[in-house]
Amino acid sequence: MPSRRSLIGMGLGAAALAQAEPSQPKIRGDEYWAQKGDVKLYMFRKRLEGSAQAPVLFLVHGSSISSRNSFDLTVPGCGEYSVMNTFAGHGFDVWTMDHENYGRSSRTESNSDVASGAADLHAGIELIVRETGRQKVHLLGESSGALRAGVYAMAHPDRIDRLVFSAFTYKGEGSPTLAQRAKQLDYYRTHNRRLRDREMIRSIATRDKPGTSDPAVAEYQADLELKFGDQVPTGTYLDMTANLPLVDPAKIIAPVLLVRGEYDGIATVADLSDFFGRLPNGDRQFVILPGTAHSVVLGVNRKLFWHATHAFLSMPSVT
C-alpha cells in the first residue's frame, strides 16, 4: 500500500497536471450584413477563437424558421441543438443567413421564392470570400434551403466545395405533405405572405411522426421565432407545390450528401433515389437516418445527422 506521503504526492501531481492542461478554445460569434441591391441580409458566424483558414460551412434555412432559430438553438435543459456550435467545435468556420423577409433581414414586398434565396446566397458567399479569403464553401441546406443551395450551386459551381442536401425535394412525387399544401396553391399564387403561428411551428415537430422531435424544443423555438412576427413568405411553398423540379442533378458537379429522415413526409425515398442516380460526381452519398422525420436538424436523433455530415465533410481527398 502506498504511504500517506506518496498519496499526497500523487494528488499534487494530478492537480499540477490538471492545471497544465490547456483550456478548450472558446467559440466566438460575429454578426455581419450582406447587401443584395437595397436589401440588407443578416449573417451570423461562429468559429473557434484563434482559428485561421478553417474550412467554411454555410447553413441555409428552410421556409418557416429563420437562420439562428434553425441552426443555433440551445434549449435550456434539453441539451445541445446548435449545429453552429457543433461544427465550430469540429474546426469549421460556420456561417448562416436570414433570407429576405425572414428574421433580422430586410422586409420587402417579395415573396422570397427559391430564386430570390439563391440570389441571397450569392451576396452572402461573396461577403464570406472577402472576409475569409476562402474561394469555396461547403453548403448545407435543409428543406427549401436545400433547393436554394442547389440553385446557387448550379449557377456558381466554382464557389462550392461539398454540398449537403437535408430534407431535399426533387420532383415532389408521392409526397403527402406537398399534396396537402397544393390545396392552398391559389392562395400562394395571390399572396406573398402566409400564417406561421405557434401551431404551425409545433406541427413541424409532429406532422410526420410524433416522438421524433421534443415538443419542448418546438415551444422554445416558437418563443424565439414569433418575435419576428407570425407571417412568412409564400414563395418557397409556391415553388415546392407548382414549380418542381428546380434543381437539375446533371448540373450539380460538386460532391453531394443527400440526407433523409426515415419518416420524412416531403422527401420520399423514390424521389431522392431518382435524383441521386442522376448526379454526375462519383463522390456522392445517400443516407437515411432512423428515428428522424423531416427536420433532422432539430430531431431527437440529431446527433446521427451531425455524424453523417461531419464524416462527409471530412472525407479524405480522392487521389
Q: Using the CB atoms, write b or e for 265-278: b if 16+ within 10 Å.
A: bbbbeebbeebbee
**Beta 160-166 vs 74-75: how paired, if at all?**
unpaired
Report if residue 74 sits inside a domain: yes
Domain carrying residue 279: 23-313
Average pLDDT of the chain to the nearest whole number:
93
- Biggest alpha carbon distance in the chain? 84
Report if residue 318 sits inside a domain: no
User: What's the confidence (pLDDT) of residue 288?
Assistant: 98
**What are the tens digits of pLDDT across the range 200-236?**
999 999 999 999 999 999 999 999 999 999 999 999 9
Q: Which three cell numbers stand for residue 106?
A: 430586410
Q: Residue 67 CA to chain centroid, in angstroms?
A: 8
> Domains in the chain: how many in total?
1
The phi-psi region of residue 229 (left if phi > 0; otherwise alpha if psi is between -120 and 50; otherwise beta) is left
Query: Is the predicted pLDDT of residue 13 greater than 50, yes or no?
Result: no
141's enclosing H/E stretch is strand 137-142
Torsion, Cα of 83, 87, 89, 91 (10° steps)? -160
Amino acid in the structure at residue 20: A
Given a contact cutoff of 8 angstroms between Cβ atoms, the answer to whether 131 and 32 are in contact is yes
Query: Is the predicted pLDDT of residue 11 greater than 60, yes or no?
Result: no
Residue 276: band (very low, low, confident or very high) from pLDDT cuts 50, 70, 90:
very high
Which of these, 274, 319, 296, lies nearest to 62 by C-alpha position?
A: 296
Report if residue 89 sits inside a domain: yes
Report if residue 212 sits inside a domain: yes
Query: Is the predicted pLDDT of residue 9 greater than 50, yes or no?
Result: no
Residue 285: band (very low, low, confident or very high) from pLDDT cuts 50, 70, 90:
very high
Given a contact cutoff of 8 angstroms between Cβ atoms, the answer to whether 231 and 191 are in contact is no
DSSP category for residue 65: S
Torsion, Cα of 92, 226, 268, 291 (10° steps)? 70
Task: List the single range of 4-8, 150-154, 197-201, 273-277 with lowest mean pLDDT.
Answer: 4-8
Q: End-to-end CA distance of the chain, in Å?
A: 57
**What are the tens digits of pLDDT across the range 128-187?**
999 999 999 999 999 999 999 999 999 999 999 999 999 999 999 999 999 999 999 999
Q: Which three cell numbers stand for residue 283?
A: 463522390
Query: Is the predicted pLDDT of residue 17 greater than 60, yes or no?
Result: no
All residues at 6 or more sequence positions from 4 whose CB lies less than 8 Å from its CB, including other chains? none
Q: Give the CATH number of the domain where residue 55 resides.
A: 3.40.50.1820
Report if residue 180 sits inside a domain: yes
Q: Which three cell numbers stand for residue 186?
A: 391559389
Report if residue 16 sits inside a domain: no
| Length of the chain (residues) | 319
Q: Which three cell numbers stand for residue 204?
A: 413541424
Query: Is the predicted pLDDT of residue 8 greater than 50, yes or no?
Result: no
User: What is the pLDDT averaged over residues 85-110?
Assistant: 98
Report if residue 156 sits inside a domain: yes
Report if residue 15 sits inside a domain: no
User: What's the confidence (pLDDT) of residue 119?
Assistant: 98
Write the CA distances from 68 to 34, 104, 200, integer angstroms: 16, 10, 18
Residue 5: band (very low, low, confident or very high) from pLDDT cuts 50, 70, 90:
very low
Q: How far apart are CA 42 and CA 37, in angstroms?
A: 14
DSSP string, 220-284: HHHHHHGGG-SEEESHHHHHHHHS-----GGG--S-EEEEEETT-SSS-HHHHHHHHHH---S-E
Task: List the single range of 22-26, 74-78, 200-204, 222-226 with lowest mean pLDDT.
Answer: 22-26
